[in-house]
Each structure stands twice: as C-alpha cells, then as structure tokens.
C-alpha cells in the first residue's frame, strides 16, 4: 500500500502545478442511525450536511464565501447473508438549492475480523437522477481498516483509528467518464458499541483523467448510532 500512497501524493503535487486545478474546503457532518430488525435485517438512516467554506484555484486568489451545499437523507435496508457478508439497497434524496436529486444504491459488504483489527470491503453501485440531466452511474469500491488505539479490540470509552480508501468510477453519457479517489483517515471514540463518533479528513480528488483536477478537503464528523 505504501507505494500507492506515494504515487497518490506525487499525483496531487503534480496536478497542483497546472492551471485550472481547483480545490474546495468544507465540513461534512453525518448522522448514521441504524435499527436492527428480525432475521438479520437492518434499516439504516443516514443524513449528511455539506458546507463549503473555501473554494478556489491553486496558485490564484481564493474565494471564502460560505455556502451550504446540500443535505442528504438516505434510507438503506441491509440483510446479513453470511457471518461476514451483507447485501444492502436503498434510496437517497439530496436537497440542493431548489432541486432534489434522487439516487438508488446497491451494495455488498465483506468484513474480515482479525485479532487486532477489522478490514471491510464495500462494493457498491448507485444511479443518480437529477433534473434535466441524464442518469449517472457509479461503480465504487471501498476498503476500510479500523484498529484500536489501545488494547486488542475497540471497547467502550476507547479510541480507534479508521482509514478508508475508495475508488469511484462515474459514467455519464457515453463519453463522460471520471474517476474519483477518496482517502479518509479518521479517529473515532466509542461511547458504547452502539454509539460512536468519528472525525478526521475526507480527501477527494477527481477529474484528473480530464486534466482539470478537483481536490476537496472535508472535515468529516460522523456519528453512528444503533438502536
């Protein structure tokens, strides 16, 4: 994995030297509320509140206007299909300006548990429908690693480190393809096993295949509650 991150770092700096490379800085708080149901079913509600504080081009003046970008509300139903596997499907509504974007979501997750850490693989697809736009299809893969900062398991009142790396392939029309890469180093705190708070960086880079790189730096705050 080390060479990959070095490569990513090189890419980020090489893109910075070119014109038309933009950046966004903002916050991305989310709430995740889950309810376990019978027969290994679970229902999850997720809401995200995206706010932008700075935007601009590398090497040029920055604009600092605050902008409330959008609110997401998603409902996902999941079913545990094995000890480590879960399939899920759901629907998302994105409230952006006066528009409401709709998205359908399908995902398959594998979680491997090791002595001192967990490794999760998430394969997902989603289809986004916005007003007056053709449907956008995304194929996503995310790997997540979480490890306790004390002891061998993440227990109540303890901290943990969670690092995610995601690749999103976006297809829109026939000739419109984009790859987005996300790296999310987060630190989490366990109030109880069903109540966790995480915060850290949500770094996203995309459009580099089209030579107009966009980099986004979000301060992520994620609250996971299970009832």
Partner 1 sequence: MQFNVFKMKNLCVLFCFLFLGNTIIAQTKFEKESRLSVHMVPDQAKQFVYQLLASKQVKWYHEIHETGQSIEAKTKYQNKKYSIEFNMDGSLQDIEVETHKDDISVKTYANITNVLETKFDKHWIKKIQIQYIGSKEALLTFFKSGHPNNITTNYEIVLKGKTKNDKALYEYLFNEEGTLKSTKTIIFRNTDNIQF
Interatomic CA distance for residues 101 and 74, integer angstroms: 12
- Please return the burial class of 216, using the count of CB atoms within 10 Å of its CB with bins 0-12, 13-18 and 19+: buried
The nearest distance, CB 106 to partner 1, in angstroms, is 13
- Please return the burial class of 82, using the count of CB atoms within 10 Å of its CB with bins 0-12, 13-18 and 19+: exposed
Pick from 152, 147, 156: which is nearest to 196 by CA?
A: 156
CA 107 → CA 69, 87, 104, 167, distances in Å?
26, 6, 10, 14
Examine residue 222 and tell whether it contacts partner 1 (CB under 8 A).
yes
Site track 3-42 with partner 1 (rule: CB under 8 A), x = hit: --------------------------x-xxxx--------
The stretch among 10-18, 57-65, 185-193, 202-210 that binds partner 1 (CB under 8 A) is 185-193
Examine residue 193 and tell whether it contacts partner 1 (CB under 8 A).
yes
Q: Which residue has the tokens 């109880």?
A: 192
For strands 214-226 and 22-36, give the pairing.
Answer: parallel
Contact with partner 1 (CB under 8 A): which of 1, 38, 82, 175? Answer: 82
The nearest distance, CB 157 to partner 1, in angstroms, is 7
**Which of 3/82 has CB closer to partner 1?**
82
Site track 154-173 with partner 1 (rule: CB under 8 A), x = hit: xxxxx---x-----------
Question: In the range 39-58, which residues lie near partner 1 by CB under 8 A?
Answer: 44, 46-47, 49
Question: In the range 119-148, which residues lie near partner 1 by CB under 8 A?
Answer: 120, 122, 144, 146
Q: Which residue has the tokens 């227990």?
A: 155
Interatomic CA distance for residues 60 and 181, integer angstroms: 24
Residues near partner 1 (CB under 8 A)? 29, 31-34, 44, 46-47, 49, 68, 71, 76, 78, 82-83, 86, 88, 95, 97-98, 109, 111, 113, 118, 120, 122, 144, 146, 150-158, 162, 188, 191-196, 198, 222-227
């Amino acid at each position: 994995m080390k060479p990959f991150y070095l490569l990513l770092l090189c890419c980020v700096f090489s893109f910075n030297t070119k014109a038309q490379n933009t950046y966004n800085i903002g916050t991305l708080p989310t709430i995740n509320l889950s309810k376990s149901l019978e027969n290994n079913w679970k229902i999850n509600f997720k809401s995200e509140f995206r706010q932008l504080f700075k935007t601009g081009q590398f090497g040029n003046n920055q604009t600092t206007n605050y902008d409330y970008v959008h609110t997401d509300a998603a409902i996902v139903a999941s079913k545990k299909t094995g000890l480590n596997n879960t399939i899920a499907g759901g629907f998302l509504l994105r409230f952006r300006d006066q528009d409401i974007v709709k998205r359908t979501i399908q995902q398959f997750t594998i979680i491997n548990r090791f002595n001192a850490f967990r490794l999760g693989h998430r394969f997902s697809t989603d289809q986004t429908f916005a007003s007056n736009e053709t449907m956008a299809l995304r194929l996503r893969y995310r790997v997540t690693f979480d490890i306790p900062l004390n002891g061998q398991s993440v227990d109540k009142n303890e901290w943990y480190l969670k690092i995610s790396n995601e690749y999103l392939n976006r297809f829109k029309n026939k000739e419109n393809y984009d790859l987005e890469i996300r790296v999310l180093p987060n630190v989490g705190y366990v109030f109880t096993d069903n109540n966790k708070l995480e915060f850290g960086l949500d770094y996203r880079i995309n459009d580099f295949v089209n030579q107009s790189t966009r980099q986004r730096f979000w301060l992520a705050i994620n609250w996971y509650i299970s009832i």
